[in-house]
Amino acid sequence: MSDRDNNSVGPGNPPAHGKFKPGQSGNRRGRPRTPTLSFDELVREELNSIVEIRQNGKVRKIRKLGLIVKQAVDQAAKGNFRFLKLLTENNAFRSIMENPEQRPLNGEQLKYLEGVRAQARELVAKYNNEQAAANGAASNKTR
């Protein structure tokens, strides 16, 4: 007890100049908050981040959004109806399919796009025929 009375410094007994003054707290503003991002901002930031992919033996840098679109188009070209429906319902894809010459394309890109358009038309026709057959079979069962 006598050590604390004579203002000695040690564990649990800081020097007087380091103690808070009476009526004054130590951290008035509090801990600085880190800015929180909304869900939309987080998604936008993540979709714009760049990843490396290997394509034809070469490493390319591409944004994640571009990678998602590329994979969706590839899946639709392979005949995956879910991705084909997703793309055909998209206005941007529809405008590209209707007017491919809006953006200058080289010959190879134009041939590829024509092939995709032909495949898409075939797949849509096949899908529509299957849906019509399924709807016809379902209506026959209910009668």
pLDDT in tens, 41-54: 888 899 899 999 99
Q: Name the pTM for this structure.
A: 0.45
The confidence band for 140, taking pLDDT boundaries of 50, 70 and 90, is low
CA-CA-CA-CA torsion for 65, 70, 71, 76, nearest 10 degrees?
130
**Does a structural domain hold residue 104?**
yes
**Does a structural domain hold residue 122?**
yes
| Least confident window among 44-53, 97-106, 108-117 | 97-106
**Does a structural domain hold residue 63?**
yes
**Does a structural domain hold residue 5?**
no
**Does a structural domain hold residue 26?**
no
Kindly report the average pLDDT of the chain as a whole number: 79
**Does a structural domain hold residue 27?**
no
Q: How many domains does the chain have?
A: 1
**Does a structural domain hold residue 11?**
no
Residue 124 lies in domain: 37-142
Mean pLDDT, range 79-95, rounded to an integer: 78
- First-last CA distance in the chain: 99
